[in-house]
Amino acid sequence: MHRRHVLAVCALALAAPAFAEAPALLLAKVYQPGLPLADYWVSEKYDGVRGYWDGQRLRTRGGESITPPAWFTAGWPNAALDGELWAGRGRFAQAQSAVRSQEAGDAAWRQIRFMVFDLPAHPGSFDERLPALQTTVARMGQPWVQAVAQHRVGSHDALHALLLRTVRAGGEGLMLHRGASLYRAGRSDDLIKVKTHDDAEARVVAYLPGKGKHAGKMGALLLEMPDGQRFKLGTGFSDADRTTPPPLGSWVTYRFLGTHHGGLPRFASFVRVREDMAATQ
């Protein structure tokens, strides 16, 4: 990217493109010690693309339509299913590529599993939704659709040990789901993610020009967090990322180590573009 182009882009305001309405999803908060673990079910956190089956079509968390081969969703129920389109541990890029491509064929989708972890339209608690979910998936009888295994842990030490075993085996982390909770959109203590590091998503609002060896390229991204706060992200990028940075309006995942008093991330580093999240203003 030419330096003059970077400077020009920095001054541009974003035009809000039109996108389908995002589904009202249950979202996770970050684990904090002291949580009453006896109230929660524990499962692996699958590093894939969030998939929401609304009874008619499959959509991303941003509301965009997903177009798998017809056989992939043939015979799926009219009831909503919430899950993760997953290609296996350490294979996020493969899952994202299949989901984002309008032309991904059978070979790509044969590697994808839909890991179902909730029934959004079920009126009961998660304790009640869980057996209904397992029955629903069993009736579907499709090996590429699986109910996420849920179990209990007895202590925080046991949770930590399970987390380390999962990560060492190539997993991303764990999820905690409160048994007494109803399915409610938004973030709450009903759903908790447990990882060995912090990460989050933010939207790209501008490019900041590089200096020194990065002159003429992107030096940093100006990101906007969901709460409206903005910060500069300047580390974790390859030369290719700096030459062709993530599109304005796109969402990116960044890793960080705690937050400052005002809530901004400390030691933030770029991880990847989240192409399953719609670019919005």
Count CB-CB contacts under 10 A for residue 253.
Answer: 15
Q: How far apart are CA 218 and CA 213, in angstroms?
A: 11
The vertex-130 CA angle with 75 and 187, nearest 5°, equals 100
The side-by-side arrangement of strands in the sheet containing 40-45 is: 26-30, 186-194, 173-178, 40-45
The vertex-268 CA angle with 253 and 271, nearest 5°, equals 30
Count CB-CB contacts under 10 A for residue 194.
Answer: 20
Instruction: Establish whether 45 is a catalytic residue.
Output: yes
Q: How far apart are CA 217 and CA 112, in angstroms?
A: 36
- Looking only at the bridges linking them, the beta strands covering 198-209 and 186-194 are unpaired
Q: What is the CA radius of gyration of the chain?
A: 20
Find, among 226, 169, 164, the residue nearest to 195 by Cα: 164
For residue 17, the one-letter residue type is: P
- Catalytic pick from 45, 213, 217, 232? 45
Dihedral sign from CA coordinates of 86, 88, 90, 91: negative
Q: How far apart are CA 266 and CA 57, in angstroms?
A: 39
Decide: 37 and 156 in contact? Cβ < 8 Å: yes
Q: How far apart are CA 19 and CA 10, in angstroms?
A: 24
Residues designated catalytic: 45
